[in-house]
Amino acid sequence: MNNRANFAAVKRIVVKIGSSLLTKGGKGLDKIAIADWVQQMAMLRKQGVDVILVSSGSVAEGVWRLGLKNRPTTLHELQAAAAVGQMGLVRVFDDTFQQHDLHASQILLTHDDLSNRQRYLNARSTLLTLLKFGVVPVINENDTVATEEIRFGDNDTLAALVANLVEADLLIILTDQPGLFTADPSVNADATLISHINVNDDRLESMAGDSRSGLGRGGMSTKVSAARLAARSGAATVVAAGATPDIIHAILRGEEFGTHFLPDIEPLLARKRWLAGQLQVKGQLVLDNGAIEMLKNNGKSLLAVGVKWATGQFERGELVSCLDLNGVEIARGLVNYGSEETQKIAGKSSLEFEKLLGYADDLELIHRDNLVLI
């Protein structure tokens, strides 16, 4: 019996491709394999599915280009290799997507970018705008300026954080392994591939191991952690062998490839829980009746014109509570302007933002994707 979901209806996916796959085990970029993955992603993009690619491989490609016999161990050498390798990655992906009349974009992120609330919103806005333009964002960790030890496995975590960031329906992690086994298949002949498992299953820690490829330190342990991170926003995760023909489409059809990590919470409920219960409220917005009507009955974003006044001290990206004229809380959301700016634009049309603030970033005070009714 197949208990796996059919992902044919997904609207947004994140695809992460590991270093060993991308570089033929450290022998330079595998352009034939990349062309195949890009073709699959291009078909999805043209069918209206948003696709974000998280690519490892900058250090591995740099090591190959520089003719180094082994992966460097010092930070500055790792950063130098990443800088050289990133050029090759960007060129190949850009050229290959162009063959399908699609634009790709390079986004370099660190985990720091996604933990800082303002930079989190900036990154989110940029990615969503690129998706609106039909562009395929190609994301890698900003290895050239990282101050911590560079680890290939970090991109599993980065992919999960990106899935949270853009509220993806599905995270696909393509690796050189078929998926998660009940035990290490290289030492245990009785090990079997796990088709599906809940992200909170207690058995996961004992079954996941570290990488043996020598190119990265991801292994299954970071992929399990990534699946759990992705599940925080309700996204499912599939870990599968990237060399399988038509693997991305096969996964979306619900075919038995890889390991499907089941989230324990629906996407909307996950985001509602996060906004409503896990963040500290920094301020209050008092709304007029018209704004409340638009939020409750029409699912619209909150515009500044519907705000009577604002209280509290808050920065862009922090959580504020939305109240009616009687002080009853009706919603919470991440605000796009700080408290000083909000007080200036309260009750005003977005057309007046530039005159009042000297600039105009977002038209909405709180975007509907970052707002939850209470």
Query: How much is the pLDDT for 276?
Result: 61
pLDDT band, residue 153 (cuts 50/70/90): very low
Question: Do residues 16 and 146 share a domain?
Answer: yes
The overall average pLDDT reported for the chain is 86
> Per-residue pLDDT tens for 246-277?
999 999 998 889 999 998 776 666 666 666 65
Question: Pick from 267, 287, 316: which residue ends a domain?
Answer: 267
Give the residue-averaged pLDDT of 123-133: 92
> How far, in Å, CA of 157 to CA of 226, rounded?
5
Q: Is the pTM of this model over 0.85?
A: no
Residue 83 maps to a domain:
yes
Give the residue-averaged pLDDT of 11-24: 91
Residue 144 maps to a domain:
yes
Which of 165, 161, 17 minimizes the C-alpha distance to 96? 17
Question: Do residues 23 and 155 share a domain?
Answer: yes
Question: Do residues 136 and 157 share a domain?
Answer: yes
Which of 298, 288, 274 minimizes the C-alpha distance to 370? 274
168 pLDDT above the threshold of 50: yes
Amino acid at 132: K
The count of other CB atoms within 10 Å of the CB of residue 147 is 9
> How far, in Å, CA of 84 to CA of 58, rounded?
8
Query: How much is the pLDDT for 214?
Result: 37
Q: Is 244 exposed, middle or buried (0-12, 13-18, 19+ CB in 10 A)?
A: middle
2 pLDDT above the threshold of 60: no
Question: Do residues 304 and 193 share a domain?
Answer: no
Phi, psi of 116 (to 5 degrees): -80, 120
Residue 6 maps to a domain:
no
Residue 2 maps to a domain:
no
278 pLDDT above the threshold of 90: no
* Most confident among 7-11, 111-115, 362-366 (mean pLDDT): 362-366
Q: What is the CATH number of the domain that holds 249?
A: 3.40.1160.10
| 3-state SS string for the chain | CCCCCCCCCCCEEEEEECHHHHCCCCCCCCHHHHHHHHHHHHHHHHCCCEEEEEECCHHHHHHHHCCCCCCCCCHHHHHHHHHHHHHHHHHHHHHHHHCCCCCEEEEEECHHHHHCHHHHHHHHHHHHHHHHCCCEEEEEECHHHCCCCCCCCHHHHHHHHHHHHHCCCEEEEEECCCCCECCCCCCCCCCCECCEEECCCCCHHHHCCCCCCCCCCCHHHHHHHHHHHHHCCCCEEEEEECCCCCHHHHHHCCCCCCEEEECCCCHHHHHHHHHHHCCCEEEEEEECHHHHHHHHHHCCCECHHHEEEEEECCCCCCEEEEECCCCCEEEEEECCCCHHHHHHHCCCCHHHHHHHHCCCCCCCCECHHHEEEC
Q: What is the CATH number of the domain that holds 299?
A: 2.30.130.10
Residue 101 maps to a domain:
yes
Which of 201, 186, 181 minimizes the C-alpha distance to 259? 181
Residue 5 maps to a domain:
no
Question: Pick from 267, 290, 322: which residue ends a domain?
Answer: 267
Residue 150 maps to a domain:
yes
Question: Do residues 206 and 342 share a domain?
Answer: no
> Per-residue pLDDT tens for 199-230?
888 888 777 655 444 333 346 788 898 998 88
Q: Any bridge partners for residue 138, and if so which?
A: 53, 106
C-alpha neighbours within 13 Å on the C-beta side of residue 170:
27
Question: Do residues 158 and 197 share a domain?
Answer: yes
What's the domain range around 164?
A: 12-267
158 pLDDT above the threshold of 60: yes
The total number of structural domains that make up the chain: 2
Question: Do residues 242 and 339 share a domain?
Answer: no
Question: Do residues 297 and 261 share a domain?
Answer: no
Question: Do residues 172 and 34 share a domain?
Answer: yes
Token representation of residue 85: 């390798």
> Per-residue pLDDT tens for 44-82?
999 999 999 999 888 888 888 898 988 888 888 888 888
Q: Beta strand pairing status for 170-175 and 12-17?
A: parallel
Question: Do residues 185 and 293 share a domain?
Answer: no
Question: Do residues 236 and 318 share a domain?
Answer: no
Query: How much is the pLDDT for 4?
Result: 56
Question: Pick from 267, 299, 330: which residue ends a domain?
Answer: 267
Question: Do residues 82 and 127 share a domain?
Answer: yes
Query: How much is the pLDDT for 5?
Result: 61
Query: How much is the pLDDT for 38?
Result: 98
Residues 6+ apart with CB under 8 A from 328: none
Residue 1 maps to a domain:
no
